[in-house]
Amino acid sequence: MAKRTLLYPGSFDPPTLGHYDIVKRGLKLADRVIVGVHGGSLSKRHWFSPEERIDLFESYFSPEESAKIELCVYDGLTADLAIEKEAQGILRGLRTASDFEFEFSMAAMNKHLAPGVETIFIRTDENLAHISSSLSKDVLRYRSVPGMVSELVANKIRERLEELGS
Ligand code: ADP
């Protein structure tokens, strides 16, 4: 039987426990999840290179999970990556009503670009709804708070803050 593949695209700068939760739940729906780390656009400045973001995301997975996950860097359109990887669906997480508005248009555009690919939304876990990469970076600047990112990722954020001199 053909393998079910979901593509989970995002910036993941850096990956949080919220992102990890979406991958775990995606694995309940598919045989394989491909994490597509978007290289970047002119409008977004990233703290971590795409390769660093891949390594950090990988550090969340158990060996059993890793066996079903592929990570790659891409530039360009998510819909084109979905076609190239023969994914049946694009996986996205929803936290807030404002996420929904953006995601709704994005899903419509991806359907236009790749009619055979469905967008699957997973609602955030209640306990993780407030977690984002940018807020984690903001908070860890001032306080060591667990439960947003892994300890390894928190350390990388602190290292980067020191390098940036802030
Ligand atoms: P993008 O720049 O593509 O929005 P992000 O790294 O911010 O990239 O997010 C990637 C995906 O993960 C998006 O679908 C986003 O809604 C989802 N996501 C981010 N944080 C959470 C969270 N705490 N719970 C559930 N989904 C989340």
Give which of 88, 109, 99, 97 is closest to 29, Cα–Cα: 88
138 domain residue, yes or no: no
String of b and e for 50-73 (b: at least 16 CB within 10 Å)?
Answer: bebbbbbbeebbeeeeeebbebee
95 domain residue, yes or no: yes
* Nearest-atom index, ligand 1, CA of 44: 2
Judge whether residue 110 has pLDDT over 90.
yes
pLDDT on residue 44: 67
pLDDT on residue 41: 62
Structural domains counted in the chain: 1
The CATH number for 26's domain is 3.40.50.620
Q: In whole angstroms, what is the distance from residue 148 CA to residue 113 CA?
A: 34
pLDDT in tens, 78-108: 999 999 999 999 999 999 888 899 999 999 9
Full residue range of the structural domain in which residue 118 is found: 5-129
76 domain residue, yes or no: yes
Query: Structure tokens of 49?
Result: 């290179």
145 domain residue, yes or no: no
Q: In whole angstroms, what is the distance from residue 16 CA to residue 133 CA?
A: 6
114 domain residue, yes or no: yes
15 domain residue, yes or no: yes
- The secondary structure of residue 2, as a DSSP letter, is P
> Of 19 and 165, which is predicted with more confidence?
19
74 domain residue, yes or no: yes
CB neighbourhood size of 148 (10 A): 21
**In whole angstroms, what separates CA 133 from the centre of its chain?**
10
For ligand 1, which residues put their CB under 6 angstroms from it?
10-12, 16, 18-19, 22, 92-93, 95, 99, 124, 128, 131-133
163 domain residue, yes or no: no
Judge whether residue 43 has pLDDT over 60.
no
pLDDT on residue 42: 55
* Nearest-atom index, ligand 1, CA of 13: 6
pLDDT in tens, 122-166: 999 999 999 999 999 999 999 999 999 999 999 999 999 999 886
